Chains A and B, each alone.
Chain A
Amino acid sequence: MQQLPIDLWNNIFSFLPTLDLCAPCFTSKILRDAACRTLDSHNTDIIHWHRYRKQLPTHNMEVVKWWRIAVREPTREEVMEATRSDQLDVVELLGWDDTELSLRHRTITRTHLCAPAWCAGDILFMAVANGSKKIITAVHERKNVVEALNEGLSNPYCMYNPLFGEEEDLEMMQWLCNEHVEGLPSVQWPVRLFEKIYSVGFRLAERGHRRVIAKLMQRIKMDDVKGSNMYNGAGQGGRIDMLLWLEENNVPYDPEHIQLFYFVSSMSTFEWALSHGVLPSHYLPFNDREEGTYEDALRVGCIENQFDLPTDVLCNPEITHADVEVVRSAIDDGYITRETMLQLPLLSTRDRFEMIQWMHERELLHENICLFVYRWDNVHIMSWLVERGYAIHDGDWIHSCAAIASPDLLLWLIETYDKGDEEMYDMLVKQAPWGPFNLPSMEFLLQRKWNESEEEVKTWMDDKPEEYLDVEWMTYLWENGRSL
């Protein structure tokens, strides 16, 4: 068979999502180079793909077995993906919780040291959302689903779990309402089940799942707060039909519990909110210009209805996926000035440097912009800003920055602000008594102190015979290395 040149592999790889570029990277030089070139083209930003966690493929057992040996241990993302795609065998291979992970990997993948990265409850939530009877039954066989659900609810991750998927699934709601459903275990759910999962109504309304909402309303006592939550969800989904349906079905609401910013995704929902007594609250988000919502919201809300936007509406705006054009129009309208402290953490990596440069050129960056930008963990952007006179104040700022910094940014802080390794390590230990440590940077400092290799220092993290790494152990390693 003829071998393909690298350019053709690039064309082929343009049809593969990031996770499917993993195996080619370990196949041969030509495939690796083509895959890396494709990955580099995904981000035009100076942040490179190889610094950040990527979901690994879960297509089948073979490929999962391979990357568990050759690449790394699993994370929550892979377990949730295997659950989403109804692959019970892969879920079983990856683990029903994170207890089988090495101590280092478990520590690094947890958001909260005391809470597992995933548990049977998380898997149950995802299985319900995807209607996977096979996985729900498997959860039940391992652990009663009611118990699993309670376990899931105590996990901070579940707060973000939708429970119901994109597709309307009345059968799952019937099961959660204690009705018999073929293929699922008979369960008596707690009476207050849906009150614990507070975002259910919001998500269902956002997706327009009327039959499921009707069933839900038979199960829970509807009040202004729960009802308003559904109206907010319908607004977020841009569903005027859903708003009208909620009204027709006498779902109660209180304008004070309805947030106008949920309603800016379409003009019809925005006008519905205004005509129902909803007033501008904290801020109006900057959405994508293609939707026109920012300008429409301002026009209808502020011009036609003669609202005076509160002075703080745009002094702290959160720009999520706005493009330069949207921000430009806000500047032209006088809503962004040099006094504006932009919230940019959710801005995509593609847009960040472009936005920073663009605003700097127009002298619109707040003098304390570094206070927000450090969260991007991007040494190039930070040094670019500092070189242009934007300050990082000593003390808390540097500590906050170091707490999330990758080794390259940490080294830049040490060298630029004349910090000692010990001071930084001590701060990193103290910054994270409950949350996860910034382990890569702590390992980097340990390497420097004990003149050991990266791989050697990593092994030190797995020596502790406890569930997770703690302050005592990390302090011990700094003081003694792993000599004893």
Chain B
Amino acid sequence: MASESISVTTSDDQTIQLSRKHAQMSQTINSMLEDSVGADQEAIPLPNVSSEVLKKVIDWCTHHENDPAPVEKVKKLNKKREYKAKNSTISDEWDKNFVNAELRVIVDILLAANYLDVKGLFELMCKHIANELKGKTPDQIRERFGIQDDLTEEDKAAMRKAWGATKNDS
């Protein structure tokens, strides 16, 4: 019978126990478990995830452990077959509190969610960062995300032409 908990080793050499249910919310760990059936149950190495971030991931998994499995949504066009962005509203109050963290932590959780392939968490972090971007100027985005301005004047002129186009779509 499979053990009820799984050991993982984080990038900072911490060994952390997580329940099988939570582990299976990560497609990455789930695949590793399936590949190692019958083998000695050694701690699964997670070299891209720190213990601090993994604890956050576990917190999220604990809150959402009874959620229905996420359905892969196909990008749909509206009635006029125009592109419509995905809804970035975060409706769950617990999730709203969860993303109320330093941006550094949010980015780390996003990267961890991507590596661990935890779809719901990944989507939540993407929504939060998208909402962070809304209504900000390029300077404000660079400052908020610690990004260097590596665009040349020619690059900016090309974008000015694209975004400054005045012809209406016929």
Which residues in A have some Cβ–Cβ distance to B below 8 Å?
1-4, 8, 11-18, 20, 22-32, 41-43, 49-54, 56-57, 59-60, 62-63, 66-67, 70-72, 75, 105, 108-109, 288, 321, 323, 345, 348-351, 375-377, 404, 406, 440
Contact = CB atoms under 8 A, between A and B. Distances in A.
Q: Is the interface on chain B under 10, 10 to 19, 20 to 34, or 35 or more residues?
A: 35 or more
Given A12-B129, A321-B79, A348-B82, A52 B160 contact: no
A376 B170 contact: yes
B77 A350 contact: yes
A467 to B, nearest CB: 18
Given A14-B126, A66-B137, 11 more contacts: A1-B103, A1-B145, A1-B146, A14-B85, A28-B142, A28-B150, A52-B165, A53-B165, A62-B140, A109-B166, A406-B167
A15 B151 contact: no
Given A1-B107, A23-B141, A351 B81 contact: yes
Contacts of A323: 81
Contacts, number: 162
Nearest to A67: B163
A11 B126 CA distance: 7
Contact of B135 (A13, A60, A321): A60
Given A17-B85, A51-B165, A52-B169, A24 B133 contact: yes
B169 A32 contact: no
- Nearest 10 interchain pairs by C-beta: A59-B135, A50-B162, A72-B164, A15-B130, A42-B83, A15-B88, A66-B137, A27-B138, A26-B138, A52-B169
Contact of B159 (A1, A32, A406): A32
A27 B137 CA distance: 8
A53 B134 contact: no
Contact of B85 (A16, A348, A350): A16
B166 A16 contact: no
A28 B88 contact: no
Contact of B134 (A20, A54, A348): A20
A28 B147 contact: yes
B110 A4 contact: yes
Contacts of A288: 79
B33 interface: no
A27 B107 contact: no
B114 interface: yes
A121 B78 CA distance: 31
Nearest to B106: A1
A59 B107 contact: no
Given A1-B146, A25-B163, A59-B134, A52 B168 contact: yes
Contact of B160 (A49, A71, A440): A71
